Amino acid sequence: MDDSLNSWFAREILVHEGALMRYLRRSWFRREEVHDLRQEIYVRVYEAAARSRPTQPKSFMFTTARHLMTDRLRRERVVSIEAVGDIDALNVPVDEVTPDRRLDAHQELKRLADAFDRLPDRCREVVWLRRVEQLSQKQVAARMGISEKTVEKQIAKGARLIAQYVHGDRHTRRHTRAGEQETAIELGHDQ
Q: Which of residues 168-187 bind other proteins (CB under 8 A)?
A: 173-174, 176-177, 180-181, 183-185, 187
Pick 55 or 80: Cβ nearer other proteins: 80
Q: CB of 126 within 8 A of CB of 155?
A: yes
Specify the DSSP class assigned to residue 129.
Answer: I
Task: Write out the binding residues for other proteins, residues 135-154 only, by CB under 8 A.
Answer: 136-138, 148, 151-153
Number of residues that bind other proteins (CB under 8 A): 75
Contacting residue, 71, 113, 120, 147, with other proteins by CB under 8 A: 113
Should residue 35 be labelled a site residue for other proteins when binding is judged by CB under 8 A? yes
Phi, psi at residue 28, to the nearest 5°? Answer: -100, 135
Minimum distance from CB of 7 to other proteins (Å)? Answer: 8
Q: CB of 85 within 8 A of CB of 76?
A: no
Minimum distance from CB of 9 to other proteins (Å)? Answer: 6
Please give the Cα distance from 71 to 5 (Å, whole number): 27
Closest of 123, 115, 117 to residue 153, by C-alpha: 123
Residue 65 identity = A
Minimum distance from CB of 67 to other proteins (Å)? Answer: 17
Q: Where are the beta strands (DSSP E) in 26-175?
A: none
Q: Where are the beta strands (DSSP E) in the chain?
A: none
Q: CB of 69 within 8 A of CB of 27?
A: yes
Should residue 117 be labelled a site residue for other proteins when binding is judged by CB under 8 A? yes
Task: Write out the binding residues for other proteins, residues 36-55 only, by CB under 8 A.
Answer: 36, 38-40, 42-43, 46-47
Task: Write out the binding residues for other proteins, residues 59-78 only, by CB under 8 A.
Answer: none
Should residue 128 be labelled a site residue for other proteins when binding is judged by CB under 8 A? yes
Should residue 116 be labelled a site residue for other proteins when binding is judged by CB under 8 A? yes
